[in-house]
Amino acid sequence: MAEKKLTRKEKIDQQSIQEPDAADTLKPPKRNKVSKGKSGAWLNFNRKLALIVAAFAMLIYVNSINHGYILDDASVLTDNFVVKKGIKGIPTIFQTSYRYGYWNSSDEIYRPLILAMYALEWEFFPDTPAVYHFINVLVYAISGYFLFLVLCALFRQYNVAIPFVISLLFVSHPIHTEVVANIKSRDEILCLLLVLISLVFTFKYIDKTKIYYLAIAAVVYMLSLSSKESSITFLAVVPLMLYVFTSLKRFEIGLVTGFYAAGAGAYLLVRRLVLGSLDGGKTIVDLDNVLAGAANKSDELATAIMILGKYFMLLVLPHPLVCDYSIGEISIVSWSNIYATLSLFLYVGLGVYAIIMLKQKNLFAFGILLFLITISVFSNVILMIGSSFGERFMYMPSLGFVTVVGLLIAKFTLPSWEAVNYKSIGDMLKANMKLFGVVGIILLAYSFKTVTRNEDWDTNITLYSVDVEKSTNSARLHYYYGLELTKAVALAEPDLEKRKAHFVHGIEELQKAIDIYPRYPDAYSQIGLTYYRMNDYDRAQHNYLKALEFNSTKPLTYSNLGAIYFNRQQFQQALSMYQKALTYDPRFADAYLNIGSVYGTMAQQLKNVGQNQKSQELNQKSVDAFNKGLEFAPENASMWYFAAITYANMGNKAQADKYYKKAFELKPSLRPQGK
C-alpha cells in the first residue's frame, strides 16, 4: 500500500520528541492525536481562554475610560486640524507626515493608519475623550485575545496553560499603563494587534498551504507599520518563530519572510514618497534625547547601555512608573559607571546564551531573542531616536520578557509540558495548581499596580503632580507641571488671589526646569506668558526674548511677543512678530487671528480720522487673514466672530450675518443678550 501523504500541519505535529535536558533545552513534545470533533472542541476551549485574557485586560483598565485628554493626546486630537476634519481629513492624512496637522516642522514619522482611526472617531464622536479611551482599552483587550491565539499556534504541542499564563502576564504588566491610558499611544497597541493578526494568517498558510494567506499577512503587516514603525523588527522575529516552532525548511521560512519583507517594502516606498526621505531630515536635540549631548561615541554607547539596564529593571520591578525620563533625570555616563558595565554584562550574557541555545530550538532562547530584537529599535545603540527613554517603548519587548518569565515559572511548577485535552477551564486550573498559584500572586501585584497607576493618568495635573515627586531631576516634568499650574489650574480659578498663587507656583516649577536645563526655550516662553497674564509686560518680554535666544524658530513665542506690542499699541512691531511666526508655521491659526485683529484695529483708527479708503484696504487685509486662519481652525469661534465684525465695518451685511451665525453656533456665549 502506498504511504499516505501527510499535510504540512501533520508533518509539524509529528516533529521529534526530546525532553528538556540539564541545559534547559526545551524541544517540542509530540502533540496528542485528536479526532476532528475533538480538535474543534480544543479550538473552542482555546477561544474561551482567549476571551478570559481579553476580559481581564478590560477589567484592569476600565478605570481609565472616563479620563480626559492627557500628555500629548492633543497632538493627535484637539490640536490637530486635519484629524478634526473627520472623514474629510483622511486623504490629507495619507499624503502628509504624522505631525502635519499639529505643527510645522521637519517630521520623520509616517503613521497614517492611526491618524485615520482618530479622524473617524472625531467624525462620529467629536471631542469625546471617554470614547477614545474606551477604544484604547477595547483594542488592548482584542490584542490580548489574538496574542493568546498566536501563542497557542506557537506552543501547539505544549500544555495550553503555558500560552495562557504568558498572555495574562503580558496584558497585566503595569509598564503598559502609559500605552493604554494615553490615547495618543494607541499606535503601539494597534501596531502589535495588526502584527498578531498577520501571524494568524501566517499560521493559516502553514496549516493549509494556501499562498493567499501569506498575501493577506503581508498586507496586514504593512498596515501595522502604518500605525507605528516599531513592528519592523518582526522581519527578524518571524523567521525566528518559524525556525523554533515549526519544521519548515529554510526555503519555506525564506518564502514567508519574503512576503513580510514585501509588506515592509511597500510601506517604506510610500513613506519615502510622502516624506521625501526615509529619515524626514529630523535633528535630535539633547532635551528630547539626552544621548544627543554626549561628548563622544563611547559615552553615548555607555549611556545607551545603562538605559537598557534601566528598562530591564522596570520590567522586573515596575515601580516607580513615571511618564517622563528626560534630561536631568538621565545623565551621560562613561564606562566607569557601574550600572553601564552591569547592563552590558547582562545583555551580552543574554545574547550569548540565546545564540548558543538557539540551534537546539530552546524556548528560553526564543523569548530572550524576542526581547532583544524588539527592544533594538528603541535602544539608541543601532540608531538614535527622538527620545532616550519611555515606558511605552517596552510594549513589544515586554512580550519577550513575560515569555521567559512564564516559561521559568512553568519549569518549576508545571506537572507536564505536554499537550493535554482538558475537559474544562476548572479542570486545567486544578491540574496546574502550583503554576496558577504562583502566577496568581504575580497577577494580583501587577493588577493592583496597574489599577492604581491608571488613577494617576486621570488629568495632566494629577499625572504631573505625582510624577514630579518621583522624578525630581527631570527638567521636562517640572516644565509640564509648571505649564499645567499656569494654564489649566490658574485660569480655572475664579478667586484672583488664589489664581496669582497658582501663577507663582507655576513659575517656580518652570524655573526649576531652567535650573536643570538652562537652555530650555519653552520654559522661558511659558514664564513670559504667565507674566503677561499677570500684566507684567516687562518681565514677559524679557523671558520671551530669552526663549528666542535658545530657539529662534518657535512661532508661538513670536506670536506671544506680538501680543505685548499689540497691547502697547505698537501695531507695526506686533505685525512683524505675527508674520515672523507664520514664516516658521504657515498653518499657525492664532497668528492669522492676531494679524486680522491688528489690521481691524488699525482700520478702525483710520476710519475715526476720516481715512475711509485706507481703512477699507486694511479691513480687507483683516478678513483675508481671518479667512486664511479658518482654513486651519474652522472651529475657532473667535475667528468667525471678529471676521463678522470686520465685514460689518466694511458694509458687507450678508457676509457679516453669515459669519455671526457660524460664530454663535460654535460659541453661543458670543451672542449679545436679547439677540
pLDDT in tens, 62-77: 999 999 999 999 999 9
How does pLDDT run across 3-58, given as a tens digit for each residue? 444 444 444 444 433 333 333 334 443 433 333 334 456 568 999 999 999 999 99
Q: Write the CB contacts of 413 (distance below 8 Å, at least 6 apart in sequence).
A: 432, 434, 435, 437, 438
Q: Which of 165-174, 276-285, 559-568 has the lowest mean pLDDT?
A: 276-285
pLDDT of residue 27: 42
SS3 call for 294: coil
pLDDT of residue 20: 37
Which three three-digit cell numbers place residue 608? Answer: 475715526
pLDDT cut 90: percent of the chain above it: 88
Q: How far apart are CA 506 and CA 480, in angstroms?
A: 10
pLDDT of residue 40: 55
Q: Inform me whether the pLDDT recorded for 2 exceeds 50.
A: no
Which CATH code of 1.10.40.60, 1.25.40.420, 1.25.40.10, 1.10.10.10 fits the domain covering 460-670? Answer: 1.25.40.10
Q: Inform me whether the pLDDT recorded for 281 exceeds 80.
A: no
Say if residue 69 is exposed, middle or buried (CB neighbours under 10 Å; 0-12, 13-18, 19+).
Answer: buried
pLDDT of residue 280: 52
How does pLDDT run across 384-402, given as a tens digit for each residue? 999 999 999 999 999 999 9
pLDDT of residue 674: 56
Torsion-angle region of 320 (φ positive above 0: left; ψ -120 to 50: alpha; else: beta): beta
Q: Are 412 and 437 in contact (CB under 8 A)?
A: no
Q: How far apart are CA 215 and CA 197, in angstroms?
A: 13
CA angle 512, 518, 524 (to 5 degrees): 70
Q: Inform me whether the pLDDT recorded for 432 exceeds 90.
A: yes
CA angle 205, 246, 25 (to 5 degrees): 160
pLDDT of residue 519: 96
How does pLDDT run across 106-126, given as a tens digit for each residue? 578 999 999 999 999 999 999
Q: How far apart are CA 290 and CA 279, in angstroms?
A: 19
Q: Inform me whether the pLDDT recorded for 548 exceeds 70.
A: yes
Instruction: Kindly report the three-state secondary structure assignment for every residue of 64-103.
Output: HCCCCCCCCHHHCCCCCCCHHHHHHHHHHHHHCCCCCCCC
Stretch 629-638: mean pLDDT, rounded?
Answer: 92
pTM above 0.95? no
Stretch 527-539: mean pLDDT, rounded?
Answer: 97
pLDDT of residue 107: 76
pLDDT of residue 43: 66
pLDDT of residue 30: 40
Q: Inform me whether the pLDDT recorded for 282 exceeds 90.
A: no
CA angle 656, 591, 554 (to 5 degrees): 170
Q: How far apart are CA 298 and CA 333, in angstroms?
A: 9
Q: Inform me whether the pLDDT recorded for 339 exceeds 90.
A: yes
Q: Inform me whether the pLDDT recorded for 218 exceeds 50.
A: yes
Q: Are 443 and 52 in contact (CB under 8 A)?
A: no
Q: Are 59 and 150 in contact (CB under 8 A)?
A: no
Stretch 454-458: mean pLDDT, rounded?
Answer: 98
SS3 call for 175: helix
pLDDT of residue 3: 42
Say if residue 549 is exposed, middle or buried (CB neighbours under 10 Å; 0-12, 13-18, 19+).
Answer: exposed
Q: Are 82 and 89 in contact (CB under 8 A)?
A: yes
How does pLDDT run across 185-210, given as a tens digit for each residue? 999 999 999 999 999 999 999 999 99
Q: Inform me whether the pLDDT recorded for 452 exceeds 80.
A: yes
pLDDT of residue 12: 41
* Strands of 499-612, DSSP E: none
Q: Where does the chain hold its CATH 1.25.40.10 domain(s)?
A: 460-670
Site of grid cell 522575529: 237
pLDDT cut 70: percent of the chain above it: 92
Q: What mean pLDDT, rounded, does the chain reach?
A: 92
Does 20 sit behind a cis peptide bond, omega within 30 degrees of 0 on the bond before it? no
Confidence of residue 214 (pLDDT cuts 50, 70, 90): very high
Residue 158, strand partner residues:
418
Question: Residue 600: what residue type?
Answer: G
Identify how many contiguous H helices and E strands the chain contains and give both numbers: 29, 0
Q: How far apart are CA 510 and CA 426, in angstroms?
A: 56
